[in-house]
Structure 1
């Protein structure tokens, strides 16, 4: 990948305090053209970062909302063009600037927008227009934010040995924006950009107010499943009034189930219904994970494994998980299980039935022993009581004392 920096503007941001009302200032240091960049010290610092930024992958639907790298889309009302979005227009001005002055002006506007956000911290902000050959003739826009590093020491000379650098920047905690998004080599999405930021700070999500981000894949899957549950309820209770007691109870039960962080098997759908629902989710994300626990034993796989390699069933009133595959793989500490010569499944199932029958017999025997012990204790207690133990006067209940 050949990089060719067309223009680059370098700004320094200084802040005092960490709240919205703290003092914030910025200074434009310099805007470089291509030749000036090639002769500058920034080239060695940034060229490698540009390549890493382009190559860093990001998912349109990430695994969680806190992933550092995301894909953003410019918000556009139905029937309107991208040019109705002010964030899009600014990035286009940076991208299409054909003079040093035009680029510097657009970069200054970008920094002033960034200064209005709550997450502003001191450091260097760099805006660059970079051509990536041989992919495209039109450049990409890079926006990089490097925080100041404090208490940096460097080797000085033989007398002082080290000297303190008051303000230094590094790529260690680099935040950046790349526009437009290039999902694959040679492919552009002009309505999208890629951002990378500290997950807790949301630097650029606050800054780019007219950019939206797709839901993480767990939320997407949950929405699809709940939509399927809604259709299931409509079909099941078709012909019944919405206030039907049975329907209301089932709807409330499913609401509690959906809201729970740890959920139990609901036992509502047949195997074929689950397979159909899983197939629809796999269309959304083919590599969708599946994870559950059975009495504390964790099972991990892909949703595509359900019904083909991972099977759920019942036997002797308990749940059973069957996992089939070609080979086992063990890690770390050696276990005697690694020496097993597995029995055929029929023999394993028979052993499980025998274990269940033995456990039931032992439980029944323990119950009989406990009942016999309780009966014996009751008899001994009754035998040791006086005839009128329940009457403190010493007379029978139907006899009156002589003084009456």
Structure 2
């Protein structure tokens, strides 16, 4: 997957002050056309970055709430076109610029908009227009940001040994935007772009104020489960408003707790029925829980089929079944076990629970 650069504008952003707001400066260093870029050091520095960005996978509904790579969609009011979105227009003008001067003007406008974000850091910004001639006639826009690396030294020769570099950049932790999004080779989605940034940062999300992102799977699950919970509360406490409000508050607190305990409210059948709606939408939804100091990780679809939760006295028991057992590296005596019957194990757990009660 080879991209051929048509224009690349190189900007340097400097930020003074610890709060990143005391002073922000942007300087346009140079804009190169395709021929000049191919002969410049930038071409070896960026190397295969465009291909890497294009091939970097991203999910519309990621498995975690904070992920480094996201797909964003330009937001418009009902009945309006893409042209009504200010963020889209920043990229569209760069794609359609007919002269080098026009391209520089639009690139500067994009960088100035980026500088208005709250958590901006100093570094180099590249605004690139490139084509993939084998697949498309239309160009792509890449926005690349490299933060400055502090206290960098490089080995030069045997006489001077070290040469300090005041403002060094590298491509290792490069942030990027690619527009339009290419879900797969040969397919473009003009309503979408792809961003890549540190998972805890929101540089590009703050910059692209009129771009929306789909909810993560945990967020979607939380919403749907709480929908089931509210339905349950309405049915159980239909004629008791005070109890209904109290139960709703308790369940909201439970849902927003970092560590949630088993609530012991629903039957096995109710849990399986509610789970089936989620599994139908996404069969590989994961479920993770802690039993004492042990972590159990499985698919939600395994509950009631291969994973079972029971209670003996005041103790919880998780039963996991499968056709075989495999162990990781590091041999342990457990691997030599001749398993007991399930009845024997249940009996032993029961005796332990009774002994703890007597004690």
TM-score above 0.5:
yes
5 Å-filtered alignment, 1:312-391, equals 312-315=309-312, 318-343=315-340, 347-353=341-347, 356-357=350-351, 360=354
1:255 is aligned to 2:252: yes
Q: 2:93, 2:128 → 1: CA distance?
A: 12
Evaluate the alpha carbon distance shift between residue 341 and residue 62 of structure 1 in structure 2; reply closer, same or farther with a 3 A threshold. Answer: same
1:108 matched residue in structure 2:
108
1:370 matched residue in structure 2:
none
Evaluate the alpha carbon distance shift between residue 29 and residue 246 of structure 1 in structure 2; reply closer, same or farther with a 3 A threshold. Answer: closer
What TM-score does the superposition give when structure 2 sets the normalisation length?
Answer: 0.90
Evaluate the alpha carbon distance shift between residue 363 and residue 162 of structure 1 in structure 2; reply closer, same or farther with a 3 A threshold. Answer: closer
- Between stretches 189-198 and 86-95, larger displacement belongs to 189-198
1:135 matched residue in structure 2:
135
Alpha-carbon displacement from aligned partner over 1:231-256 (angstroms, at most 9, x marks no partner): 22223344x25x2x443443333233
Q: Name structure 2 gaps, 5 residues minimum.
A: none
Q: 1:163, 1:317 → 2: CA distance?
A: 67
Evaluate the alpha carbon distance shift between residue 163 and residue 319 of structure 1 in structure 2; reply closer, same or farther with a 3 A threshold. Answer: closer
1:317 to partner: Cα distance: 6.2
What TM-score does the superposition give when structure 1 sets the normalisation length?
Answer: 0.81
Q: 2:66, 2:193 → 1: CA distance?
A: 17
RMSD: 2.4
Q: Tell whether the 8 Å contact from 2:312 to 2:353 is kept in structure 1 after alignment.
A: no
1:357 to partner: Cα distance: 4.7
2:53 matched residue in structure 1:
53
1:15 matched residue in structure 2:
15
Q: 2:135, 2:301 → 1: CA distance?
A: 36
1:298 is aligned to 2:295: yes
Q: Name structure 1 gaps, 5 residues minimum.
A: 368-404
Evaluate the alpha carbon distance shift between residue 356 and residue 160 of structure 1 in structure 2; reply closer, same or farther with a 3 A threshold. Answer: closer
Q: 2:13, 2:352 → 1: CA distance?
A: 75
1:268 matched residue in structure 2:
265
Q: 1:14, 1:265 → 2: CA distance?
A: 51
1:163 to partner: Cα distance: 2.2
Q: 2:101, 2:156 → 1: CA distance?
A: 38
Q: Tell whether the 8 Å contact from 1:154 to 1:165 is kept in structure 2 after alignment.
A: yes
1:22 to partner: Cα distance: 2.0
Q: Tell whether the 8 Å contact from 2:128 to 2:142 is kept in structure 1 after alignment.
A: yes
Q: 2:157, 2:260 → 1: CA distance?
A: 65
1:170 to partner: Cα distance: 0.9
1:285 matched residue in structure 2:
282
Q: Secondary structure at the match of 2:182?
A: coil
Higher relative contact order (CA 8 A, sep 6+): 2
Structure 1 runs (4+) greater than 6 angstroms displaced:
none
- Between stretches 97-106 and 80-89, larger displacement belongs to 97-106
Paired residue total: 359
1:350 to partner: Cα distance: 4.2
1:165 to partner: Cα distance: 2.4
Alpha-carbon displacement from aligned partner over 1:15-37 (angstroms, at most 9, x marks no partner): 32233542222222222222222
Q: 2:163, 2:186 → 1: CA distance?
A: 47
1:211 is aligned to 2:208: no
